[in-house]
Amino acid sequence: MHGQKRSEYKSRLLNPETSSKLATKAQQWNHLSHELLTQRRRLFMPQMQTPPAAADAAPAATLAGEDDYGVVLPPSKPSPDILLAITEKMLSVNPDPSHLWNIRREMLLYTSQLHVPKSSLVIQAELALTAHCLQRNPKSYSAWYHRKWSLVYSITHPTATKATVGGNDRDGSISISNTPSATQQTEDKLRTEGHVMDMKTILISELELCAQFLQLDERNFHCWNYRRFVVALLGSCGGSGASSSSSTSSSMRQYATSCMVDKSDWSLFTGSWSSWLNQSATVSMGAQSSSRGQKAMGNIPSHPDGFSIDETSSEEAHTITQSISALSREELDTIIINEWNFTTSKIHDNFSNGSAFHYRSKLLPLILESRIMASLDHEGKGNRRYAAILALAREEWESILLNAIFTEPDDQTPWWYHRFIVSWMKPSSNSNNDNDNVQECEVLLYEMADSLRELLEVEKENDVLLPLEGDDVSDSNKDESKGAKCKWAYIGLHLVLSTILKLFISRMDEDSVVSLRMEAEGCLTELITIDPNRKERYQNLVADI
């Protein structure tokens, strides 16, 4: 078990009080789990109903959680509200099981069709529940996904969604016998308040939530993924509903099944930023037709009251108008620059934040485009482009990388980004970059080499100055993943030197070639000694030269 100390875990189990508490929790969980699935079956498959005695006569069960409230299961007909309350209780305890979220979504959609008007998916309630779950387990795939699903559903089904201000105060107590569900209560309350928040505002506030989670764990890749997803949503659909007026390319879409976000919306879940580069001003979402069609709960047998989940048969079947907002290029730029600045501050907080470097690597091309677009001079576009790449590469080297590698030379994180920048700034072989630019590339590489030589000198001096640093001290202070001293500076220097040799060998005199080759080989020889774990790879590189 991740991070569970063996001795502590075993002694906890030996403690009779703890173990009986855990046993009770387990029984409660198992009971609810069973109850949920049997009630769901009875709801959808009355013909397969269990003998009433079996489930109904069962004593009301309570699951007393740490929040000091329990779900009381009444001996009554199954209802979506009860199922919603059970999922809420179970997921608050353990947000991982995806089938529990499935049942929750199923019930949310089910009730949104039963009730008039069709508006019971209160996005704020789902955002509050998932936030609560994620505070308990910030790495829960299913909880993050449910949050994504809620946003996408709200955007694609604006008429079936209530987005409201101030809905994040979750009811503390849930009593579901003979009273409306928590969701309904919240909904009623919010309806009277009547503030409808547009999706764009919600999306912007999601970025703030991400910032908070990344404050707690700067490497939480779930949260970074979610952030990229939110940014992609902002870029692809801006805001729908109240805020959007210009329905430039409204797509009429029928939704035949109600159970899920339309399958053709899959692209909204990928968090892909590629569309950002395709449109300069307006990015439209557009409806993709799905070749494989929609599926899922259409197959569920109809509701006992004659309600069919397959809505095509119902006169209520309606089309939704996809309103596309027109984010101006300035707005898009602002979002991207905001993300760029976010990574800058994260990296300055901690040069070991590989997640922030990664995110930055994905922003870099967008920043580049935005700078090229911003420039009014459209002459010689190809050269301008490469000039802009080199300018950005120099910026990254001078304002981020130099600082990072001189501060933490043994931390591999910035070195991977350095490798990326070196690779990114190489002149592409097929385009005719003008001589000035190629020369600037060469100059920057030589500057890098000089700085890395200097770094190695500094590190060697430090080694001499601090010969008495005891093994104990360095062992306990040293992160186990840090590796050998100066290793990464040698790797970086080797990279820069071999890049220079590859790109500019034709412009160099023979002496320089020989000396650079020797220096590059020297790096590898040094590496074989100081980093023997990976000597096989270094030996392969020596063979390459």
Partner 1 sequence: MAASGTSDATTSTTPTTAIIGPFHDALHTNYIINLGAKLDSPTSYEGAVTEHLRMSGVYWTLAALSLLRNAEEVDTLMGLTSSIVGKRKAIVDWVFACYDPRTGGFGGNCTGWVSEGVDSSTSTIDPIPHDGHLLYTLSALQILAMANALDDERLNKESIVNFVSGLQNEDGSFSGDEWGEIDTRFTYCALSCLAILGRLPLPSWSSEKHQNVRGDVAAIDIDMAVRYIISCRNFDGGFGSVPGAESHAGQVFCCIGALSIAHSLHLLNGEASACDDYSNNVDNGGADLLAWWLAERQCDSGGLNGRPEKQADVCYSWWILSALSIMGRVGWIDTSKLGKFIMNCQDDDDGGIADRPCDMPDVYHTFFGLCGLSLIGHLGKFGSKEGRTYREIDPIFALPTDVVEKLGLRAQVIRNLNGVVDDRLRIHCILDGSK
Residues making up the chain, counted from first to last: 545
Q: Could you tell me if 405 and 491 are in contact, meaning their C-beta atoms sit under 8 angstroms apart?
A: no
**What's the CA gap between 35 and 531, in Å, rounded?**
57
Residues binding partner 1: what is the number (CB under 8 A)? 102
Q: Which stretch binds partner 1 (CB under 8 A): 112-120, 247-255, 465-473, 480-488?
A: 480-488
Instruction: List the one residue from 300, 335, 402, 500 that touches partner 1 (CB under 8 A).
Output: 300
Q: Which stretch binds partner 1 (CB under 8 A): 113-121, 126-134, 172-180, 270-278?
A: 270-278
Residue type, 135: Q
Q: Which helix (H) or strand (E) holds 275?
A: helix 275-278
Q: Cβ closer to partner 1: 63 or 197? A: 63
* 175, 409, 470 from 473: Cα distances, Å: 57, 19, 5
Q: Cβ closer to partner 1: 152 or 324? A: 152
Residue 434 touching partner 1 (CB under 8 A):
no
Which tokens belong to 199?
A: 């999706």
Q: Which residues, numbered 339-378, are part of the site for partner 1 (CB under 8 A)?
A: 352, 354-355, 358-359, 361-362, 364-366
Residue 318 touching partner 1 (CB under 8 A):
no
Instruction: List the one residue from 139, 253, 329, 482 that touches partner 1 (CB under 8 A).
Output: 482
Q: Which residues, numbered 157-216, are part of the site for partner 1 (CB under 8 A)?
A: none
Q: What does the DSSP 8-state code read for residue 505? A: G
Q: Cβ closer to partner 1: 195 or 537? A: 537
Residue 529 touching partner 1 (CB under 8 A):
no
**What's the CA gap between 390 and 424, in Å, rounded?**
9
**What's the CA gap between 311 and 315, in Å, rounded?**
8
Instruction: List the one residue from 260, 335, 456, 496 that touches partner 1 (CB under 8 A).
Output: 260
Phi, psi (rounded to 5 degrees) for 472: -60, -45
Helix (H, G, I), strand (E, B) or coil at 506: helix
Residue 3 touching partner 1 (CB under 8 A):
yes
Instruction: List the one residue from 170, 191, 517, 534 that touches partner 1 (CB under 8 A).
Output: 534
* 128, 147, 162, 186, 421 from 166: Cα distances, Å: 11, 17, 12, 10, 44
Q: Could you tell me if 173 and 89 are in contact, meaning their C-beta atoms sit under 8 angstroms apart?
A: no
**Helix axis angle, 510-530 to 535-544, nearest 10°:** 170
Residue 9 touching partner 1 (CB under 8 A):
yes
Q: Which stretch binds partner 1 (CB under 8 A): 120-128, 172-180, 297-305, 522-530?
A: 297-305
Q: Which helix (H) or strand (E) holds 78?
A: none
Residue 25 touching partner 1 (CB under 8 A):
yes
Q: Which stretch binds partner 1 (CB under 8 A): 98-106, 115-123, 310-318, 394-402?
A: 98-106
Instruction: List the one residue from 4, 178, 476, 477 that touches partner 1 (CB under 8 A).
Output: 4
Cβ-proximal residues to 306 (8 Å cutoff; 6+ apart), any chain: none
Degrees (nearest 5) of the Cα angle 140, 146, 152? 140
Site string for partner 1, 214-253 (x = CB under 8 A): -----x-x--xx--x-------------------------
Residue 478 touching partner 1 (CB under 8 A):
yes
Exposure of 364 by Cβ count < 10 A (0-12 exposed, 13-18 middle, 19+ buried)?
buried
Q: What does the DSSP 8-state code read for residue 196? A: B
Phi, psi (rounded to 5 degrees) for 73: -90, 115
Residue 261 touching partner 1 (CB under 8 A):
yes
Q: Which stretch binds partner 1 (CB under 8 A): 233-241, 257-265, 452-460, 503-511?
A: 257-265
Residue 444 touching partner 1 (CB under 8 A):
no
Neighbours of 75 (CB within 10 A): 12
Residue 425 touching partner 1 (CB under 8 A):
yes
Q: Cβ closer to partner 1: 165 or 207? A: 207
Q: Cβ closer to partner 1: 242 or 296? A: 296
Q: Which residues, numbered 31-50, are part of the site for partner 1 (CB under 8 A)?
A: 33-34, 37-38, 41, 50
From first CA to last CA, the distance across the chain in angstroms is 46
- Give me the least distance between CB of 538 and partner 1, in Å please: 10
Instruction: List the one residue from 69, 145, 340, 406 that touches partner 1 (CB under 8 A).
Output: 145
- Give me the least distance between CB of 150 and partner 1, in Å please: 12
- Give me the least distance between CB of 87 and partner 1, in Å please: 13
Q: Which residues, numbered 378-407, are part of the site for partner 1 (CB under 8 A)?
A: 389
Q: Which stretch binds partner 1 (CB under 8 A): 95-103, 155-163, 444-452, 453-461?
A: 95-103
**What's the CA gap between 399 and 417, in Å, rounded?**
13
Instruction: List the one residue from 288, 345, 375, 462 that touches partner 1 (CB under 8 A).
Output: 288
**What's the CA gap between 290 and 256, in Å, rounded?**
13
**What's the CA gap between 303 and 43, in Å, rounded?**
7
| CA pseudo-torsion sign 49, 52, 58, 61 | positive
- Give me the least distance between CB of 341 and partner 1, in Å please: 19
**Helix axis angle, 329-349 to 199-216, nearest 10°:** 10
Residue 99 touching partner 1 (CB under 8 A):
yes
Q: Cβ closer to partner 1: 6 or 378? A: 6
